[in-house]
Structure 1
Amino acid sequence: MSGMSDSLVIARRNVTRMVRIPEVLVFGLIQPIMFVVLFSYVFGGSINIPGGGHGPSGYREFLMAGIFAQTVTFATAGAGAGIADDMHKGLIDRFRSLPMSRGAVLTGRTLADLVQTALTLVVLAVVAVLVGWRTHENVASVLAGFALLLLLGYAFSWIGALIGLTVRTPEAATSGGLIWLFPLTFISNAFVAVKGMPTFLQHIAEWNPFSATVAASRELFGNTNGQAVKSVTGAWPMEHPVIASILWSVLIIVVFHTLAVRKYRSATA
């Protein structure tokens, strides 16, 4: 309970800073909104989705789960940069000298990032509705889809925490947090159907934890476009995307929480 209390104090500190510097949230919204508009109107009329027809409306329903997932995972770079900035300024050393839980600083930071990610998703969902995205399931199912997206974002924030503790500058944390995310998000089912990829990439894409959450969200949103075949390679995560999404996210949290806390205990500014 003491550790949770310490974590909430740190989370409140980071949320307060976010409120006082609103441009961080505003600029964080620009990129995903641009992706929604550009992919919907530029590529939507040229990409044929199996079972979804050929045209912008079918592609938008296919696309949005991928954009949502990309948005929550790209928050990794911000989490890493924030922690690296605290390290650079010596704030982490001051926290480490206090009688508080060792993991509270990192847990509080990731919880604050989760709040920011949730706000971003709300705004992005409104924009998606405005460009023509619709869900076809009940409210509980749709909320469950967003919950899985937030769980994935929280899991990836722990990867960002480890990166932020490992590098020396916020700039390096931003680069280190993004460079591996591009292949992870694009070698997936987020933007195009896996069926059109080379065989070896199909296997990678369908075992990608990012793909599992995208597929689970589409299923819970009712945006599957009537696709009869969930997996082209028979991959278990694509056949059971909701369960796979939860398992992947929990595994990432357990592994990177452990590594980040261990790194925090030995980190120096």
Structure 2
Amino acid sequence: MTAREVIVYADADAVAQATAARVLLKIGDTLAHRDRVDVVVTGGTVGIATLAAAASSPLASAIDWTDVHIWWGDERFVAAGDADRNEGQAQSALLASLPLPEENIHRMGAAGEFESAEDAARAYAREYADAGSPAFDVLMLGLGPDGHVASLFPGHPGYGDASAPVIAVHDSPKPPPTRVSLSLETINAALEVWVVAAGAAKAEVVARCVHGDTELPGAAVSGAERTLWLIDAAAATRI
């Protein structure tokens, strides 16, 4: 497990703006050396604010988006177009404004398209394998108040499920109950894992994660090369 680097910003807006700039610079720098970048985006308040900040950044126009592939860490297994789906929020906040080829946007399957979350998980695992099972260059995660990341929840069977790179999650303690998620093993194969969190309500769980309480999925995630915690001052008060 790589050491956690904790970077504290003034407030939630500063976290979003700085993380957006950071990911755009990371994409540009990587493309200077390689012809492909794979990025995993996240939902949540700060995650979507980060995507919106990236959309409005002048740095976005300097990137050749035809070489960028977008993935998700998890998705709610509800119908396509449902407001609960992370991909719809990401589409509105960022993806619709970018010259990204549709085949570069790797959306997780929706209810109605697949009979079960297991079918959607297997399809996403095949898509990931067909892409060469890339080590994601950046994998962004939000942090729930219970310490969950993606759809890996503390005390839930999915947290320790290493049976497949992408798993179905049932009976999620946070609605909607049925989801699809990257496994912890797949998350930790990413080159860089970034956890974004903001607000005083997250302070205790951030402290537990940063200090390594592995009962919490947020404490167990780690990039192969770098692990960043990008948080605001209110979320840092208990560290």
Aligning the two structures, in what range does the TM-score lie when normalised by the shorter sequence? under 0.3
Give the structure with the higher percent helix. Answer: 1
Per residue, is there more strand in 1 or in 2? 2
Structure with higher Rg: it is 1
**TM-score, structure 2 normalization:** 0.27
